[in-house]
Amino acid sequence: MLFAVLAGRSLYLQWFDNAFLQERGAARYSRELELPAHRGRIVDRNGEPLAVSTPVKSLWAFPGQLELSSEDLVRLARVLDVRPAALKSRVEASDEFVYVAKLVSPEVAERALALRIRGLNEETAFRRYYPAGDVASHVLGFTGDRDAGQEGIELAQQGWLAGVPGSRRVIINRRGEAVEDVASIRAPQEGRDLALSLDSRLQYLAFRELKAAVEANRAKAGGLVILDARSGEILALANWPTYNPNSRDRAARDRMRNRALTDVFEPGSTLKPFSIAAALDAGTVRPDTPIATGGGTLTIGSATIHDAHPAGTLTVEQVIQKSSNVGAAKIALGLPAQTLWKTLADVGFGTPPKTGFPGEVSGRLRPAKSWKPIEQATISYGHGISVNLVQLARAYTVFAGGGELKAVSLFKTGAPVAGSPAIGRETALAVRRMLELAVQPGGTAPRAQVSGYRVAGKTGTAHKLEGRGYAANRYVSSFVGFAPVSDPRIVVAVMIDEPTAGQYYGGVVAAPVFSTVTGAALRMLGVPTDAPVDNVILPPDGGEVREET
C-alpha cells in the first residue's frame, strides 16, 4: 500500500503537476537578469548636451553564495571606499539578493572583481551626468538610482527619455556566478533624445549675472528668464541659490526649487502697463490724457495710496514713465472691475504658463466680483495679485508682439509661432512707447539702457507679504523689458528677492542686470543694432533715481 501511494505520488508530480518541480529546479541553476536601456540625451537648442547617461557598474550577490571572509570584507570595503561594518550590514540585509555596491565606475568594479571573491557579480547600468552642473539644474532636474526622472524635465519627460529595459536568462554555477547566456528574453529599447529651447550660451550668461547680482545685493534669492519674443521659447531660465545635480547628497531641498516657476511674488509696478492697456483698449484714456495725481496721495476709505515722488498732473504716458501709483489707481478705478480683470486674465495671470514643467503654479488673480475699490486700485500697481517670473515675462510678449500673447515652451520649436490676441495692436504699440520712455532719462530705469539698442521695460519694487500685512523693510525688486524696440527679439525678466545691501529699488537692483544680460544676449544672437552705440544716458553719480514702492 505504501509503495502504491509513493508510485501514485510520483506519477502525479511527473505527469500532472510537474511545473512546480521544474520551476524549483531551474531556480538552482538559472537566473533572469535585467538589461538596462540607455536613457535619451537632453540637449539644448543647438545640440549641446545638457544631460547624458554614462555606463557604470553595480556589484551584486546572493548572500548565501557569497564567500566573504573577514579579510575579503576589509579589502572590498577599501576598494569601495566604505566602512567594513557598513558593507557587512548591507550584505546581510537580505537572504536572497543584495546590491553590494550601486553605480560605481567601471574601474572600481574591475578592482573589486580582481579580488576574486566567490559569488560577487557585476551588471552594467547607467548614471546620469550633467555637463553644465549647477547652471541649468533647476530646469533639468535629476534622475534616481535606476536612472528614472525625479525632478524637472527628467521627471516630466520620463516617458520620452526612458527606454524599456530588456532581460536575459543565464546559467549560474553553485557559487552564484553567471557562466553562460541561455537566451535573450527581451531586447532593451533605447530612450529618445530631447531638444530643449534653452541656449547654453544664454543660460550661462543669465546664471552668471544673476548670481553676481544676488551676491552683490546680499539678497535671499533671485530669478532670471529670457524668452524668444517671436516663438515664446524659453532661451534661459536661471535661479539662485542652486545646486549641482552631479553631487546633490548634501544639497538642501530648498535649493532645488525652480523658483521662477514654482514661487510667486507680488509684481509691483511691473503690472502697471497692463492696467494702462486695459484703459486704452476700453477707450477711457489716451496716451496724452492728463491725470491729476493730487500731490502724490489718494485716499480710498481708510487707506491712502502714496507716490514715492509726488507730482501734479501727469499724462498717461508719464504715469508709466514716472511710475505713479496714484495715476495708475485713478485710471484703473475709471474702469469696470471686470474689464481690468479680463485684461489681466487675457495676458495669462491667474493661470499656469503651461511650460510642461512639473509643479509650475498659476499665481493668484481673484474674481473681479470680490474686489473692493481699494483692491481694484492696488491691483492696478501690482499689489493684491501674485505671479511667477515666467508668467510675468510671458505677459510682456503682448507688448513685444503687437498685442498677441505667446505660448511659452521649454522645448525647441525652431520657428515663430502665432499668439492669441490679448490687447489691441495700437494699444500694444502705445504702451511700448511708454515703456521705452521709462528707461530713458526722467524714467525709473535709466540703468536698463543698452548700448546700441533701443530697449523698453518697467521696474517693480514691492513690499513682501508678512502675516496679514506687508513687511516694512523686505522687498522684491524686479524689472521686465524687451529689445530691440524696433523689432523685439527677446523678453528678459529679472527678480531679486530681499536685497539687503542698502538699495532695494528695481531700477537700481534689477535694471542693471537686465542691461548686462540683454546687451550680451543680443550680440550673441547676432541681432542688428537699432540705435547709436553712444545712446546710453545715465543720471549723474548720486543723482536721484525715480522709483515706486
Q: Domain ranges in the chain?
A: 32-72+95-195, 200-524
Domain 32-72+95-195 grouped into CATH 3.40.50.620: no
- Whether cis (ω within 30° of 0) applies to the bond prior to 421 is no
Beta strands in 283-384 (DSSP E): 290-292, 297-300, 303-306, 313-315
Which pLDDT score, from 0 to 100, does residue 8 have? 83
Among the listed ranges 39-43, 72-76, 434-438, which one has the minimum average pLDDT value? 72-76
387 and 379 Cβ atoms separated by less than 8 Å: no
The average confidence (pLDDT) of the chain is 89
543 or 514: whose pLDDT is higher?
Answer: 514
* Averaged pLDDT for residues 285-297: 92
* Averaged pLDDT for residues 160-181: 68
HEC sequence for 125-182: EEEEECCCHHHCHHHHCCECCCCCECCHHHHHCHHHHCCECEEEEEEECCCCCEEEEE
What's the pLDDT tens digit per position in 410-469?
999 877 788 899 999 999 999 999 999 999 998 999 999 999 999 999 999 999 988 778
**CA 335 to each of CA 328, 367, 373, 426: distance values in angstroms, whole numbers, following the listed order:** 11, 15, 11, 19
Q: What grid cell was written down for 91?
A: 550584505
* Averaged pLDDT for residues 505-534: 96
Using the 8-state DSSP alphabet, how is residue 447 labeled?
G
Active-site residues: which are they?
A: 269
Domain 200-524 grouped into CATH 3.40.710.10: yes
C-alpha to C-alpha distance for 296 and 325, rounded to whole angstroms: 8
Contacts (Cβ under 8 Å, ≥6 apart) of 541: none
440 and 537 Cβ atoms separated by less than 8 Å: yes
Count the neighbouring beta carbons within 10 Å of the beta carbon of residue 331. Answer: 25
* Averaged pLDDT for residues 369-388: 95
pTM (2 decimals)? 0.86
C-alpha to C-alpha distance for 298 and 137, rounded to whole angstroms: 46
Q: Is residue 286 pLDDT above 90, yes or no?
A: yes
Which pLDDT score, from 0 to 100, does residue 373 have? 94
Q: What grid cell was written down for 216?
A: 552683490
Q: Is residue 175 pLDDT above 60, yes or no?
A: no
What's the pLDDT tens digit per position in 322-340?
999 999 999 999 999 999 9
What's the pLDDT tens digit per position in 207-241?
999 999 999 999 999 999 999 999 999 999 999 99
